[in-house]
Amino acid sequence: MKKLTGAFVNNNPATVQGVYGDRNIARLQDLCSMREGVFAAADAEKGLLEDVEVIFSTWGMPCFTEEQMAKMPNLKAVFYAAGATDSFCQPLFKHNVKLFSAWRANAVPVAEFALAQIILGLKNYFNISAGLKTREQFLNGQSQVTCGMYGARVALLGAGEISTHLQKLLKNFNVEVIVVPSHPERRTISLEEAFVTSQVISNHFPDRDDNVGVFNEKLFASMKPGAVFINTGRGRQVNEADLISVLEKRPDLTALLDVTFPEPPEDGSKLYNIPNVRLSPHIAGSLKDELYRMSDYMVEEFIRFANGEEAVHEVKPSMLLTSK
């Protein structure tokens, strides 16, 4: 069977190497007739991608113009070794080019990261460990555990792929999990109830404009004693001035922020100094060796595509990855 002609297309060639690695680059060279190098969108206008049938990419995938799409008449599919495709998918859909994404792969490390924080948060680990400066504080440490891992309520905000995977992970523990979809009309539990009744609240809302600033002072002030708010979603969903105000008044609460707005916080931001805030530099998602999982997904999806088998990770016009 004739091999399909493939090419890497990306605005940052180094990102392709980092995500695909030598192993998956070699696999694709064996599976396809791969063009050498990494191409930019402008190369399509020059006719350099005229014979390309499949494109492989990751973060940095360009959004093709109509003129560029017209210069790629043989393009059948794009395999995107990363998550959301909203920024570049429409020209592909318009020209009936199939699109595949590794959004499920990228959800795995975020869910695992959140799971670790939930487990420690239910023991009030973050506040307790930060306060252990003397022997007396050590001896009194156990009294500061406000909940535990047995029967506690954990709220997952959002019902997308990260939340779905996290729900599966949490089935290994004796906790009550409630899920609050980002669309109000889909909710059986309100945001207000989730914040009032949950010991840990983990945000996985999609990055939509209608979610900006939705987590505000009223919600944070209503949290249970010793409760924990985790944000691995997007920083702009949190009204940070409100969060800071509540945390300063409620030292029993903890905020674990892997994302902020802006990111990173400006120099002088109180987020750097409030003792009940823990910042991490957007490390929940795929990093280092975890990146290879995304390209693994796309190489396997390409094999199914080339063999005419049913797709597992296809993105269709009727679905948006930011809809849950």
Domains along the chain with CATH numbers? 5-101+288-315 (3.40.50.720), 107-279 (3.40.50.720)
Spatial separation of the C-alpha atoms in residues 114 and 244, rounded to whole Å: 21
Structural tokens at position 185: 């009309």
Q: Assess contact for 155 and 118: CB atoms under 8 A.
A: no
Query: Which stretches of the chain drop beneath a pLDDT of 50?
Result: 321-323
Q: Assess contact for 280 and 120: CB atoms under 8 A.
A: no
Rg of the chain over Cα atoms, rounded to whole angstroms, equals 23
Spatial separation of the C-alpha atoms in residues 92 and 44, rounded to whole Å: 14
In the prediction, which pLDDT does 144 show? Answer: 86
In the prediction, which pLDDT does 2 show? Answer: 81
Query: The tokens 């009194």 sit on which residue?
Result: 140
Spatial separation of the C-alpha atoms in residues 228 and 149, rounded to whole Å: 14
CB atoms inside a 10 Å sphere around CB 300: 14
In the prediction, which pLDDT does 321 show? Answer: 46
Q: Which residues contact 203 (CB under 8 A, 6 or more apart)?
A: 157, 158, 215, 229, 230, 231, 232, 233, 237, 238
Burial pattern 248-267, b for ≥16 Cβ within 10 A else e, equals eebebbbbbbbbbbeeebee
**What is the DSSP pairing of strand 277-279 with strand 254-257?**
parallel
